Amino acid sequence: MIKKSVDPLIGKIYESSKQQEVSYQMLFKKMLDARVIYLGENHENADHHAIQLRILKDLIQAGKKPLIGFEFFSIDQTAHLMSFVQIKPHNTDPQSIVIKEKDLREKLGWHAHGDQAWQYYYQLIELALKNKLTIFGADLPKCIVKRIVRVGAENLTGIENNLLQPTFFDDMPYQQLMYSKFKAVHCGFSTPKMSERMYQAWIARNDTMAYSIVSMLPDDENRPLVMILGAGHVQHNMAVYDRVAFYNPDLNQINLGLQEIATKPSDAKSYMANTVVEDKTFLPSHEYFWFTDRNSYEDPCEKFKGMLQGMTKPTGMGGG
């Protein structure tokens, strides 16, 4: 993190439907009644992961036995996760746990990730081990996601298609909204084919995560499902949130966005505005916002600006 902000929103929680601040106690009371709780994160923000850990500990302290789903792990990795949290008691001495943690990290393909990034998620896995919780990977295998981006969903083989859980979601305004988000994430660069394939992968991933959630959710109301995922996957109560509602419209879900403040202080209401695309109005990004400092104040697109200007320069305008 480059610097600390003095933004007065940091640490505050807002309910978007009322556009007013609420206490953590009030938010937590809502969570106690929810069946699915989304904790939408910025993957690299340490404050977000600390809040996730706090909420899970508080749920356990309140007598709940939550399941934990992870976007960052795929459905085929669930066996590795469950094998770890179901270690026999005689194998839970500190030395054995260190060895088994290293083995788990290798099996999950996280040996190439930094130690800090691993610890963000391992602390939740460790909590599950200590409290005998069920945990699972919810996303598509990365190799399938890469295949969709590279060749398009229409060119997958039959076996690859069998790994998908399509809900046949079709919403043109949402598609246009996501195209604009993809372009922003890629610093203003996009092509029609790139946008189309990224959107196909996005839909396939959301469908899979939604199916994972409804498949794992038990009937026991004392066992809510807490989903650890990037905030984009529940923005505007769309994507995963919407697809879970497709399977179970009556399910009580709660969408908490762990929201980094803007680079310059802004009014809370500016974060909670509706978004209009074509003739459709989308809800604010989240039902609840928990504001935190930023992981970084650097412009990630700054180093690409010169290159992108060259790529987007009209034919015949070139110099040199």
Q: How many Cβ atoms sit within 10 Å of the Cβ of residue 82?
A: 14
Domain 13-297 annotated CATH 3.40.50.11550: yes
* % of residues, the chain, pLDDT over 90: 85
**pLDDT number for residue 56:** 99
Question: Where along the chain do its domains lie?
Answer: 13-297
Residue with the two structure tokens 């508080």: 58
Do the Cβ atoms of 36 and 207 come closer than 8 Å?
no
Tokens of 229: 């995922």
- Which amino acid is residue 9, in one-letter code? L
For 154-180, write each residue's pLDDT tens digit.
999 999 999 999 999 999 999 999 999
For 88-107, write each residue's pLDDT tens digit.
887 888 999 999 999 999 99
* 304: confidence class by pLDDT, cuts 50, 70, 90: low
Tokens of 18: 């009322």
Q: 63-72: buried (b, 16+ CB within 10 Å) or exposed (e) per residue?
A: ebebbbbbbb
**pLDDT number for residue 300:** 80
